[in-house]
C-alpha cells in the first residue's frame, strides 16, 4: 500500500509560518513544518520565526524563501545588497549574497558550523574548525572583494546579475560585492543596456585596471587578454577568461596556507610532487618554493589555456612543468608507469584543489594506491571535502590539521586547506 505524502497540507506557493533552526549546507536554514516535512528556508537565520513561501516540494523536504520576519535574530542586519533584501519579492531578489542579511563575523560562525558538521558526519572528524576573515572584510562588511564579476544580457538588451536560484535578470542599481571600479563600470552598462543576448565578464587584476569582455551568443568575442596577477613578489600569468581566485586577497591567503600545511620534514628533494587541478600553477609554485630550487613539481590541469601559462609560471623551477590532462586519467597513467616513477610519487607531496564536486572516489582511490607522503587538499565545498576526507582516512591517510577561510564573504561559500599524512 502506498503511504500518503507526509505533508499533503503543504503546497507549492503556500506561505507558511516556520520556526527556523540551524544552518544547512548551501546558505539555507532548517525548519520543520507541522506536517513533519523538513523545509530548507532561504533568507532566514537560526532562532527566527518567519513567514516563508514554498518554492519547491520533494518527497522528503521542501524549499521556501522567507518573505516576512516575525521574530528576528539579534544577528539580523539590513541586507548588504539592497536588491537582495527580504523586502522584495523572492523572485526579484538578486543572487550571490545569501548571507548578506547578517555580519561577516556571524556568516563565518555559520560556515564554521556547516564545515564542522560535514567533517563530523561524512569524514568522521570531531574537531572544531574556525573560519578566518580576510584583511579588511570585517571593516567594510564584506564588500568590494570580487575581482571577477559576470553579468547577463537578455534578448532585449537588459543587463544584470541573475536572481537567486534562477536565470531571471535583475537590473540592479548597486553591486556592493564587486571591486569598486568594476561596480562603477558595470552600473554604467546596466543603465545604458547592451546588445544581447549574452554575457559580460569584468576582471580587475593586480594592476587594478578593469577589463570588460562582451560575449554575445553565437558571436566571436575579442581575444582574452593575458593578465598578470601577483602573490607577494611573484607574478602569475593568467588568461582573462581563465580561473583565478576571486577575492582580492584569496590567492595570497591560499598560497601561504598551502605552505603552512606542508610538513617540511616529509619533503624529499628527489621526489616527484604534484599540483592537481593546478589552474595556472598558483599552488604548484607554493609547493615548489617549499621544496627548493630543484623542485620537480608537475601541475595537472584539464584546460590547455591554463597549463600553457602554468608552464611559464613554474619556469624558475627548471625540473617542474605542467601537463594538460584530466586528473583521474593522469593518475591512472602514473599507476601504469614504471617502478621508479611510482616510487618518486610515493615519496612526494601532492597538492590538490578540485572544483566544487571534490576529487571523488576514482581520484582518491588512485591517490590511495600511489600513496604519496602527504597531501594538501584545498577545498571550496565542505561536504565534498568531508566525503573525500572519509575516503582518504579509509585509504591510510590521517588528517593532521585544517584551516578555513572566508574567501567569499556574504555568501555561503567557505574554503578549507586540509593537511593529510600517510599514516
Ligand X SMILES: C[S@@+](CC[C@H](N)C(=O)[O-])C[C@H]1O[C@@H](n2cnc3c(N)ncnc32)[C@H](O)[C@@H]1O
**Residue sitting closest to ligand X (CB):** 279
Ligand-binding site membership of 312 (annotated): no
Q: Which is nearer to ligand X, 103 or 258 (CB)?
A: 258
Regarding beta strands 273-276 and 349-352, do their DSSP bridges make them parallel or antiparallel, or are they unpaired?
Answer: parallel
Q: Which is nearer to ligand X, 169 or 352 (CB)?
A: 352
Side-chain-side CA neighbours of 263 within 13 Å: the count stands at: 17
Question: 362-391: which residues touch ligand X (CB under 6 A)?
Answer: 380
Binding flag, residue 333, ligand X (CB under 6 A): no
Q: Which is nearer to ligand X, 301 or 406 (CB)?
A: 301
Ligand-binding site membership of 319 (annotated): no
Among 122, 179, 277, 397, binds ligand X (CB under 6 A): 277
Question: Rounded to the nearest whole angstrom, what is the least distance from the CB of residue 302 to ligand X in the complex?
Answer: 4
Among 36, 124, 355, 396, binds ligand X (CB under 6 A): 355
Question: Rounded to the nearest whole angstrom, what is the least distance from the CB of residue 133 to ligand X in the complex?
Answer: 20
Binding flag, residue 409, ligand X (CB under 6 A): no
Binding flag, residue 240, ligand X (CB under 6 A): no
Q: Which of 299, 302, 304, 307 is nearest to 273 (CA)?
A: 299
d(CA 123, CA 377): 14
d(CA 138, CA 291): 35
Question: Rounded to the nearest whole angstrom, what is the least distance from the CB of residue 303 to ligand X in the complex?
Answer: 4
Q: Which is nearer to ligand X, 149 or 407 (CB)?
A: 407
3 state DSSP class of 52: strand
Among 66, 119, 204, 282, binds ligand X (CB under 6 A): 282
Size of the site for ligand X (CB under 6 A): 18
What's the maximum distance between 2 C-alpha atoms anywhere in the chain?
70
Q: List the catalytic residues.
A: 380
Site map (CB under 6 A) of ligand X, residues 283-322, x = contact: x----------------xxxx--x----------------
Ligand-binding site membership of 92 (annotated): no
d(CA 188, CA 119): 44
Question: Rounded to the nearest whole angstrom, what is the least distance from the CB of residue 218 to ligand X in the complex?
Answer: 24
Binding flag, residue 55, ligand X (CB under 6 A): no
Q: Which of 420, 405, 321 is nearest to 104 (CA)?
A: 405
Angle at CA 99, nearest 5°, toward 357 and 20? Answer: 100
d(CA 112, CA 338): 43
Question: Rounded to the nearest whole angstrom, what is the least distance from the CB of residue 148 to ligand X in the complex?
Answer: 12
Backbone angles phi, psi at 185, to 5 degrees: -65, -45
* 3-state SS, one letter per residue, for 136-185: CCCCCCCCCCECEEEEEECCCCCEECEECCCCCECCCCCCCCECHHHHHH
Q: Which is nearer to ligand X, 191 or 329 (CB)?
A: 329
Binding flag, residue 279, ligand X (CB under 6 A): yes
d(CA 410, CA 247): 12
Pair 62, 36: CB distance under 8 Å: no
Angle at CA 29, nearest 5°, toward 23 and 34? Answer: 130
Q: Which is nearer to ligand X, 65 or 415 (CB)?
A: 415
Binding flag, residue 278, ligand X (CB under 6 A): yes
> For the packed helices 304-313 and 282-291, what is the interaxial angle rounded to 10 degrees?
30
Question: Rounded to the nearest whole angstrom, what is the least distance from the CB of residue 223 to ligand X in the complex?
Answer: 19
Contacts of 22 (CB under 8 A, 6+ apart): 29, 30, 46, 113
Binding flag, residue 326, ligand X (CB under 6 A): yes
Ligand-binding site membership of 217 (annotated): no
Q: Which is nearer to ligand X, 277 or 377 (CB)?
A: 277
Q: Which residues are annotated as a binding site for S-adenosyl-L-methionine?
A: 245, 277, 301, 353
Enumerate binding residues for ligand X (CB under 6 A).
Answer: 243-245, 277-279, 282-283, 300-303, 306, 326-327, 353, 355, 380
Amino acid at each position: 500500500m502506498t503511504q500518503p505524502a507526509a505533508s499533503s497540507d503543504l503546497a507549492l506557493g503556500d506561505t507558511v509560518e516556520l520556526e527556523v533552526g540551524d544552518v544547512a549546507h548551501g546558505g539555507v536554514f532548517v525548519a520543520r513544518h507541522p506536517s513533519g516535512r523538513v523545509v530548507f528556508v532561504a533568507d532566514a537565520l537560526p532562532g527566527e520565526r518567519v513567514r516563508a513561501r514554498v518554492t519547491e516540494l520533494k518527497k522528503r523536504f521542501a524549499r521556501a524563501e522567507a518573505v516576512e520576519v516575525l521574530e528576528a535574530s539579534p544577528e539580523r542586519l539590513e541586507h548588504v545588497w539592497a536588491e537582495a533584501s527580504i523586502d522584495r519579492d523572492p523572485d526579484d531578489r538578486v543572487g550571490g549574497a545569501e548571507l548578506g542579511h547578517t555580519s561577516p563575523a556571524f556568516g563565518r560562525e555559520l560556515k564554521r558550523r556547516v564545515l564542522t558538521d560535514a567533517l563530523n558526519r561524512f569524514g568522521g572528524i570531531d574537531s572544531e574548525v574556525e573560519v578566518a576573515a580576510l584583511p579588511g572584510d570585517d571593516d567594510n562588511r564584506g564588500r568590494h572583494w570580487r575581482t571577477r564579476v559576470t553579468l547577463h544580457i537578455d534578448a532585449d538588451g537588459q543587463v544584470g546579475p541573475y536572481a537567486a536560484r534562477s536565470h531571471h535578470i535583475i537590473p540592479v542599481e548597486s553591486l556592493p560585492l564587486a571591486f569598486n571600479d568594476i561596480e562603477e563600470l558595470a552600473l554604467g552598462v546596466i543603465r545604458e543596456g547592451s546588445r544581447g543576448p549574452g554575457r559580460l565578464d569584468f576582471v580587475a587584476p593586480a594592476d587594478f585596471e578593469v577589463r570588460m569582455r562582451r560575449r554575445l551568443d553565437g558571436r566571436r568575442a575579442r581575444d582574452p587578454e593575458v593578465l598578470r596577477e601577483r602573490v607577494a613578489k611573484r607574478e602569475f600569468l593568467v588568461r582573462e577568461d581563465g580561473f583565478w581566485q576571486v577575492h582580492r586577497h584569496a590567492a595570497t591567503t591560499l598560497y601561504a596556507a598551502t605552505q603552512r600545511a606542508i610538513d617540511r620534514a616529509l619533503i624529499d628533494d628527489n621526489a616527484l610532487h604534484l599540483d592537481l587541478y593546478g589552474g595556472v600553477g598558483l599552488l604548484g609554485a607554493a609547493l615548489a618554493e617549499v621544496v627548493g630550487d630543484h623542485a620537480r613539481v608537475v601541475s595537472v590541469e584539464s584546460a590547455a589555456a591554463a597549463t600553457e601559462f602554468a608552464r611559464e609560471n613554474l619556469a624558475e623551477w627548471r625540473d617542474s612543468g605542467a601537463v594538460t590532462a584530466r586528473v583521474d586519467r593522469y593518475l591512472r597513467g602514473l599507476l601504469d608507469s614504471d617502478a621508479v616513477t611510482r616510487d618518486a610519487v610515493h615519496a612526494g607531496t601532492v597538492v590538490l584543489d578540485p572544483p566544487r564536486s571534490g576529487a571523488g572516489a576514482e581520484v582518491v582511490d588512485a591517490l590511495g594506491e600511489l600513496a604519496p607522503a602527504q597531501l594538501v587538499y584545498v577545498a571550496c565545498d565542505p561536504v565534498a571535502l568531508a566525503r573525500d576526507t572519509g575516503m582518504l582516512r579509509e585509504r591510510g591517510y590521517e588528517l593532521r590539521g585544517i584551516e578555513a577561510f572566508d574567501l567569499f564573504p556574504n555568501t555561503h561559500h567557505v574554503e578549507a586547506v586540509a593537511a593529510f599524512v600517510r599514516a
